[in-house]
Chains A and B, each alone.
Chain A
Amino acid sequence: MQPQSRDCRFAGKLRPWISYYKRRQSRAPNRQLTVLRCCCTVTEMAALRLLNFWAMLVTLSVCNGWLFENFGSYRNREADEVALWPLPQKIQISGAAFQLSSAGFQITHANGSTAGPSCSLLQNAFRRYFDYIFGNARKQGKNQQKVFDSELQELQVLLTAKDPECDGYPNLKTDESYQLEVDQPTSVLKAANVWGALRGLETFSQLVYEDDYGAHKINKTSISDFPRFAHRGILLDTSRHYLPLKAILTNLEAMAMNKFNVFHWHIVDDHSFPFLSRTFPDLSQRKGAFHPYTHVYTPSDVKMVIEFARMRGIRVVAEFDTPGHTQSWGKGQPDLLTPCFSGSSPTGTFGPVNPILNSTYDFMTRFFKEVSTVFPDAYIHLGGDEVDFSCWKSNPDIQKFMDQQGFGQDYKKLESYYIQRLLDIVSATNKGYMVWQEVFDNGVKLKADTQLHVWKENPQYQDEMARITAAGFYTLLSSPWYLNRISYGQDWQAVYKADPQNFNGTAEQKKLVIGGEACLWGEYVDGTNLTPRLWPRASAVGERLWSDENVKDINSAYNRLAKHRCRMVQRGIPAEPLYIGFCPHEYGGL
């Protein structure tokens, strides 16, 4: 069964609260719109939860329910439109609503802000969010003369850091916090830098709703917000299927709407090599890509993705997975892969990267030198997962090398040998690295700032996270968030319930969890089905990684997420439905 959209089962428990606020209301008779205060802070929510399992739901009903009690269902519908996703850390919403008109409202730089009109990142964001807020209304040229008593005329954006990072890139340590005070005639969004401002603008745009007369409204609100985790990522796989640039950019837009901040670009793999390298163009041009012109990412494509992401406060972390998952590399780079043998003769097939040749490491040095300049982010994902040893085992030269090195028959040692040398190469480019969990499992010596990416279901991810953090390494979680795996029904709920800090460990260990990533592997996904498959299911991960850990009531989440997905649809993202129902503006992009 789906959660009820407007659940009044707990109205009885609300009565004392409601009458309290009715009394307050009567002391403020002058308001044109009756003010019913509704204060839902996360702390209060958490406290309530201790009292009653259902208290979360009650609290949310409280926010809307007061209006419901007093104004009937129409008014309630307006307040319901405020469905924030992910839920901010601290929030107070009042029943007092202000009007915004597309003719009069502006987003501006506050006096005293360290950013001004020369900050093109913000200028673009102002325009983008203005468009999100007013949609088509702007073009219709509604009545512009009428001035309302309580009209919000300005959102002033106030940046406080000496360098607001207008031209910078976000990183793992970026401060994304912001404060938002919505009041009339002016509201203020305060943040240290542009990255916090971007998050705050998203929240502000979500606070605006349309009433039954099509007027844009926003309630008096006070928000103080910051992310729970620093690394909130989405992985897209452009090797198993090529994703047209437009699909990637659309996904970046949806990511910003859900406050994700890392695009993990699994750009190459066994099946194709669409990355057009300047140093080794043959990798994509000689059969490594599905097609050398129509199925590649040129340097300017990559630049465009990085800049588009930057404008939305999103890091682009590229993954060049070796030594396994590299079949496509071999087509344009002879001698890179290990020739497999049957008995004493080569079979003509190839295995993982050949770890015993110096030429391999020369290639990697030059290749990663390019990668480190193309991708500005401080981290590169080096893969290191699922290495199949059978080809190495079959190759007599490798066997000889194993003997020389004293590895015996332990091919994990050979893999570690390769990874070790690769890590040294990448370290020399001054990049940090992320690797899949196997690299840790196999005992490779790692730099202290290495980020270990947990993806396996067996062993249980909770145990793996505990082991990794006990060893003092940073980690991030993906195991429960392989969204390429689909099933019938509301599988977002299981996604929502998973928590990256849900393992046995000390507080110190928990701090080593930098976040997580939703992964959409490409076996069954291309531009035709990517967006509806990812959204709003990935939104569940978005809230888990941003909001307070106590925000986990499924019914509250359902109500907000159903509306949030309609908001995404209205903004042009074909996010699929959670369950039966409708959006006021259905997807029209057919």
Chain B
Amino acid sequence: MSGVWRLFGVWPMPQQITQSTDRYLLSPQSFSFSYSKDSAAQSGCSVLDSAFKRYYSLIFPDAADGARKTEFSINTLVAAGAAALKAQSVWGALRGRVYSLIYSLHCIYYFVNKTEIQDFPRFEFRGLLLDTSRHYLPLNAILKTLDAMAYSKFNVFHWHIVDDPSFPYQSYSYPDLSSKGAFHPMTHIYTQSDVKRVISHARMRGIRVIPEFDTPGHTQSWGKGQPNLLTPCYKGDVPSGTFGPVNPILDSTYQFMSGLFKEMKSVFPDSYVHLGGDEVNFACWKSNPNVRAFMTKMGFGHDYTKLESYYIENIVNISSALNKTPIVWQDVFDYRERIPKDTVLEIWKGVPADYRTELAKITHAGYRVLLSAPWYINHISYGQDWRNSYTVQPQNFSGTDQQKALVIGGEVCMWGEYVDATNLHPRLWPRACAAAERLWSNEEMTSNVDQAFPRLEKFRCSLIRRGIQAEPLFVGYCKDEYRGV
């Protein structure tokens, strides 16, 4: 068996790996994870304690629980002395996945090859966006996605939690937002304990949860539970009864936003928050006489991008005052709003030529940037479209090394127009794995998409074995097929 063969299941490709043909037997009875004497973390570290437990059953899916008695736990691989895993922090330890190299023969014997790995991510921000507004995703669908994310070493869950169609987040400061803005006030919401559960499930897997409360556009559902928040649109001199983006001219708007973001700060521990800022339609603002009067008063003329800038600036300041680092969509940069230097811009528009130009521009202006444009994997097509995701080069744009360093990572986006719990998982996996490897691995080591194919095929079968409903790349089979429907 060649070395390449054994590497099949490892995804994403580690930065450095050497493997010999020596292989060791692992027995479910005697194998255990344990803290090295020199480790800064010891028993009682909840993240690692539960990770050991989780990965034990991933490695030995057939082992009965009873077999794992502590008296048999010997901190060794048979005949090999100890296997060591060194990491700076628990989060690094979670990424050290010796288990991936373990393959099984006849379902009873487990082997691992003598292996040395030194690994670290290429980008610090490796995200996946789920949209729970266009369709509600039951909690289980989110938790399962977090499991699969961990297997592919994603580390940010970008929760696009609300949008035009529905407001499922149950706010304790403004409960009407979901009681009136959700698809259903009882069955289609995320309660505070749901959110806590997501955050803790993610934390155990080394995943940050960054919520997005997108304003001033994409807010139709907000208006249902928060009167006077949205701009009333006019037809001639009379209100048409419809509403546009958030009303940027009222003090009450900013008081409400302060209140909401204060709540955000206590609910979501991550120091980043996504403020949206994309796709604002100016037609309604233009129709509203009060907004026009405000434009004149502020000296904005007819340039509504200035009004948007004014709004975003206020929102960014609110979040900065709460010590949150804002992430916004590229539109905000394109409108040249005055934004704090630590703001992260997320690129979502256009073909490669477009996003390369945008990468160059944003980094030239000194902002950090995230790339999503090539990874809108809600867009499906016939065939192996994961190959397009795989061949993306996030740092291939004209700019200095300093500029390139401002690319902190990227995100796979699964927008919800056509996706709910019925088709989310097979549509995400293994297609999202392509971006995961691009964001983690060395680009030169992983530049050949044909070489990646058999490894990803193997990895998708291991995802299935772990209960992730990952769809096939092409004709073929998995030893253990998915048994659900």
Question: Could you list which residues of chain A lie within 8 angstroms of chain B, going by C-beta atoms?
Answer: 240-242, 244, 246-247, 250, 271-272, 290-291, 294-295, 484-490, 522-529, 531-533, 569, 572-582, 584, 586-590
A-B contact pairs, 26 of them (CB 8 A): A241-B472, A241-B476, A241-B477, A291-B477, A295-B481, A524-B473, A526-B481, A527-B482, A528-B426, A528-B471, A529-B469, A569-B422, A574-B485, A575-B422, A577-B135, A577-B418, A580-B416, A580-B417, A581-B165, A582-B135, A582-B183, A582-B420, A584-B184, A587-B138, A588-B421, A590-B144
Q: In chain B between 225 and 261, which residues have their CB closer than 8 angstroms to a CB of chain A?
A: none
Once the chains bind, are B419 and A525 in contact (CB under 8 Å)? no
Closest to B472 in A: A526
Once the chains bind, are A529 and B426 in contact (CB under 8 Å)? yes
Contacts of B474 in A (CB 8 A): 523-524
- Shortest beta-carbon distance from A113 to chain B in Å: 35
- Shortest beta-carbon distance from A327 to chain B in Å: 11
CA distance A574 to B141 in the complex (A): 13
Q: Which of B183, B421, B475, B477 is in CB contact (< 8 Å) with A590?
A: B421
CA distance A577 to B422 in the complex (A): 8
- Shortest beta-carbon distance from B63 to chain A in Å: 20
**B5 contacts chain A at the CB level, 8 A cutoff:** no
Contacts of A242 in B (CB 8 A): 477, 481
Contact stretch, chosen from B326-334, B378-386, B440-448: B378-386
A244-B483, A577-B418 known; A586 vs B472 contact (CB < 8 Å): no
CA distance A531 to B484 in the complex (A): 10
- Shortest beta-carbon distance from A269 to chain B in Å: 9
Q: Which of A240, A295, A528, A573 is in CB contact (< 8 Å) with B469?
A: A528
Once the chains bind, are A587 and B485 in contact (CB under 8 Å)? no
Once the chains bind, are B165 and A580 in contact (CB under 8 Å)? yes
Contacts of B165 in A (CB 8 A): 580-581
Of listed B187, B419, B421, residue having the most chain A CB within 10 A: B421
**B140 contacts chain A at the CB level, 8 A cutoff:** yes
Q: Which of A523, A531, A580 is in CB contact (< 8 Å) with B485?
A: A531
Q: Which of A272, A489, A528, A574 is in CB contact (< 8 Å) with B422?
A: A574
CA distance A272 to B475 in the complex (A): 10
A271-B475, A524-B474, A580-B165 known; A529 vs B423 contact (CB < 8 Å): yes
Once the chains bind, are B417 and A579 in contact (CB under 8 Å)? yes
Per CB-CB distance, the 9 closest pairs between chain A and chain B, nearest first, are A529-B426, A532-B423, A574-B422, A582-B183, A290-B477, A576-B423, A529-B471, A587-B421, A240-B475
Q: In chain B between 107 and 138, which residues have their CB closer than 8 angstroms to a CB of chain A?
A: 134-136, 138
Question: Could you list which residues of chain B lie within 8 angstroms of chain A, going by C-beta atoms?
Answer: 134-136, 138, 140-141, 144, 165-166, 183-184, 187-188, 378-384, 416-423, 425-427, 464, 469-477, 479-485
Of listed B184, B422, B482, residue having the most chain A CB within 10 A: B422
Closest to B416 in A: A580
CA distance A572 to B427 in the complex (A): 19
CA distance A526 to B184 in the complex (A): 33
CA distance A269 to B79 in the complex (A): 47
A291-B479, A486-B380 known; A582 vs B426 contact (CB < 8 Å): no
Contacts of A528 in B (CB 8 A): 425-426, 464, 469-472, 482
CA distance A523 to B382 in the complex (A): 10
Once the chains bind, are A250 and B485 in contact (CB under 8 Å)? yes
CA distance A573 to B420 in the complex (A): 13
Contacts of B418 in A (CB 8 A): 488-490, 576-579
CA distance A291 to B479 in the complex (A): 8
Once the chains bind, are A527 and B481 in contact (CB under 8 Å)? yes
Closest to B384 in A: A524
Contacts of B141 in A (CB 8 A): 590
Once the chains bind, are B379 and A488 in contact (CB under 8 Å)? yes
Once the chains bind, are B422 and A582 in contact (CB under 8 Å)? no
Closest to B182 in A: A582
Once the chains bind, are A586 and B482 in contact (CB under 8 Å)? no
CA distance A529 to B472 in the complex (A): 8
CA distance A584 to B141 in the complex (A): 17
Once the chains bind, are A582 and B485 in contact (CB under 8 Å)? no
Extra contacts, 19 of them, besides A241-B475, A576-B418, A588-B421 (Cβ < 8 A), are A241-B472, A242-B481, A246-B485, A247-B485, A250-B485, A486-B380, A487-B381, A488-B381, A490-B418, A522-B475, A527-B482, A528-B426, A528-B470, A528-B471, A533-B426, A580-B417, A582-B166, A586-B421, A587-B420
Once the chains bind, are B422 and A532 in contact (CB under 8 Å)? yes
A526-B471, A577-B422, A580-B135 known; A246 vs B483 contact (CB < 8 Å): yes
- Shortest beta-carbon distance from A523 to chain B in Å: 6
Contacts of B383 in A (CB 8 A): 524
Contacts of A484 in B (CB 8 A): 382
Of listed B184, B383, B419, B482, residue having the most chain A CB within 10 A: B482
CA distance A584 to B183 in the complex (A): 9
Closest to A577 in B: B420
Contacts of A577 in B (CB 8 A): 135, 418-420, 422-423
- Shortest beta-carbon distance from A587 to chain B in Å: 4
- Shortest beta-carbon distance from A287 to chain B in Å: 13
Contacts of B380 in A (CB 8 A): 486-488
CA distance A533 to B382 in the complex (A): 12
Once the chains bind, are A582 and B184 in contact (CB under 8 Å)? yes
Once the chains bind, are B381 and A486 in contact (CB under 8 Å)? yes
- Shortest beta-carbon distance from B483 to chain A in Å: 6
- Shortest beta-carbon distance from B234 to chain A in Å: 21
Contacts of A582 in B (CB 8 A): 135-136, 166, 183-184, 188, 420
Contacts of B416 in A (CB 8 A): 580
Once the chains bind, are A294 and B479 in contact (CB under 8 Å)? yes
Closest to B134 in A: A580
Contacts of A241 in B (CB 8 A): 472, 475-477
- Shortest beta-carbon distance from B307 to chain A in Å: 27
Contacts of B471 in A (CB 8 A): 524-526, 528-529
- Shortest beta-carbon distance from B145 to chain A in Å: 10
Contacts of B140 in A (CB 8 A): 588, 590
Once the chains bind, are A244 and B482 in contact (CB under 8 Å)? yes
Closest to B131 in A: A580
- Shortest beta-carbon distance from B354 to chain A in Å: 19
Contacts of B384 in A (CB 8 A): 524
CA distance A240 to B475 in the complex (A): 5
Once the chains bind, are B382 and A527 in contact (CB under 8 Å)? no
A580-B417, A584-B187 known; A589 vs B484 contact (CB < 8 Å): yes
Contacts of B138 in A (CB 8 A): 586-588, 590
Once the chains bind, are B379 and A576 in contact (CB under 8 Å)? no
- Shortest beta-carbon distance from A556 to chain B in Å: 21
- Shortest beta-carbon distance from B146 to chain A in Å: 13
CA distance A73 to B244 in the complex (A): 24
A291-B477, A487-B380, A569-B422 known; A581 vs B135 contact (CB < 8 Å): yes
Closest to A585 in B: B187
Contacts of A524 in B (CB 8 A): 382-384, 471-474
Once the chains bind, are A527 and B484 in contact (CB under 8 Å)? yes
CA distance A291 to B485 in the complex (A): 21
CA distance A532 to B427 in the complex (A): 10
CA distance A486 to B422 in the complex (A): 16
Once the chains bind, are B481 and A244 in contact (CB under 8 Å)? yes
CA distance A588 to B138 in the complex (A): 8
A488-B379, A528-B470, A577-B418 known; A586 vs B136 contact (CB < 8 Å): yes
CA distance A242 to B480 in the complex (A): 11
Closest to A289 in B: B477
Contacts of B381 in A (CB 8 A): 486-488
Of listed A271, A487, A580, residue having the most chain B CB within 10 A: A580
